[in-house]
A = this chain, B = another copy of it.
Amino acid sequence: MIIRILLVFSAFITGCAGPGQSRSPSTDPLPSWQSGPAKAAITAFIEDATTENRPGFIPSPERIAVFDNDGTLWAEQPVYFQLLFAIDRVRQLAPDHPEWNEEPALKAAIDGDMAALASSGKEGLLRVVTASHAGMTSDEFDAIARAWFAKAEHPTTGRPITSMVYQPMLELLEALREAGFKTYIVSGGGVDFIRAFAEEVYGIPPEQVIGSSLETEWDPTERAVVRTPKLGFIDDKAGKPVAIQRVIGRRPVMTVGNSDGDLQMMQWTAEGDGPRACIIIRHTDATREWAYDRDSSIGRLDEALTEASERGWTVVDMAEDWRTVFPDR
């Protein structure tokens, strides 16, 4: 009788089960993943990490998993979505800035002429970014970005931008958190842009987003942090492990990316002692998403793909390994 009461009572308190306790084996935390080597490797890594006495066990504080964003957690075609935001913002502000028509890059953005914008090169793109992302407080930028996310649609699929995220990755993020991992974004995209949707969409709070940034400064009169047009940190390639060390101060045990921009953080992850997981999302699905790798200008996956095969990193084949790509709307 007492045993029975304890069992019944236990059922009421499962909500307070701590990180690291394994879930019932009958529930698949990754239903959108096809059975196959990628899913098996990921599942085994998580199970080992949370099972004491296994060689793959990872103490709770060290369970840090980092994810690239563009092309890893959401799509990045036909252009990085942040560029869509920048162009929309430039167009919105253009009536107050007639002088922008004299600048080729801004003129191209105002006209929606993507070819002309592309031909303005890195400097032109940077001008579009600074015109749209600078000159306001951090709170104001957050409100601007949130307003955009509430309405923005993808140019070819017509889906809300925030539903261009990958359902299998949402499941992986959640499974990791259930297993006591801290999930981080480490993106070449703008940190405050990503923060404006990451908590709601990915369940990742602002303090677990690392990204590129404009320089900011303290305005003693307004008593606010303001965004300057000066380029700050570029969180790409070699910048990624540097930023992870600076912000997290601990080497991740799992890194997930999709391009050569993620190679250095994968190498750093792989070089650590103990169990490690480096996972590459490979865009192989021209029907449901896009197919591109070694020759792409967006999300080029070349050196990292070679290294993955040499080192036995897990390569997720989007067409083969994912039952679903995008979530139901």
Q: Interface residues, chain A, CB within 8 Å of chain B? A: 2, 5-6, 9, 13, 16-18, 61, 64, 138-139, 182, 191-192, 195, 199, 205-207, 209, 213, 216-218, 220, 223-225, 238-239, 241-242, 245-251, 264, 267-268, 271
Contact = CB atoms under 8 A, between A and B. Distances in A.
Contacts of A249: 191-192, 195, 206-207, 209
Q: Which of A2, A191, A217, A225 has the most CB of B within 10 A?
A: A225
B218 A241 contact: yes
Contacts of A195: 249
19 contacts: A5-B5, A5-B6, A6-B9, A13-B13, A16-B17, A182-B207, A191-B249, A195-B249, A205-B250, A206-B249, A207-B250, A216-B242, A216-B246, A217-B242, A218-B238, A218-B241, A220-B264, A224-B271, A225-B241
A291 B139 CA distance: 39
A61 to B, nearest CB: 6
A264 B218 contact: yes
A17 B268 CA distance: 37
Contacts of A268: 218, 223-225
- The number of times this chain is found in the oligomer is 2
Contacts of A6: 5, 9
Contacts of A13: 13, 16
Q: Which of A16, A209, A239, A249 has the most CB of B within 10 A?
A: A249
Contacts of A9: 6, 9
A248 B206 contact: yes
Nearest to A263: B220
Nearest to A215: B242
A182 B9 CA distance: 31
A220 B191 contact: no
A206 B250 CA distance: 7
B223 A238 contact: no
Contacts of A17: 16
A7 to B, nearest CB: 11
Contacts of A5: 2, 5-6
A87 to B, nearest CB: 24
A241 B216 CA distance: 10
A288 to B, nearest CB: 33
Contacts of A2: 5
A213 B242 CA distance: 12
Given A206-B248, A213-B246, A216-B245, 5 more contacts: A9-B9, A139-B251, A191-B246, A216-B242, A218-B264
A63 B16 CA distance: 20
Nearest to A249: B206
A264 B217 CA distance: 11
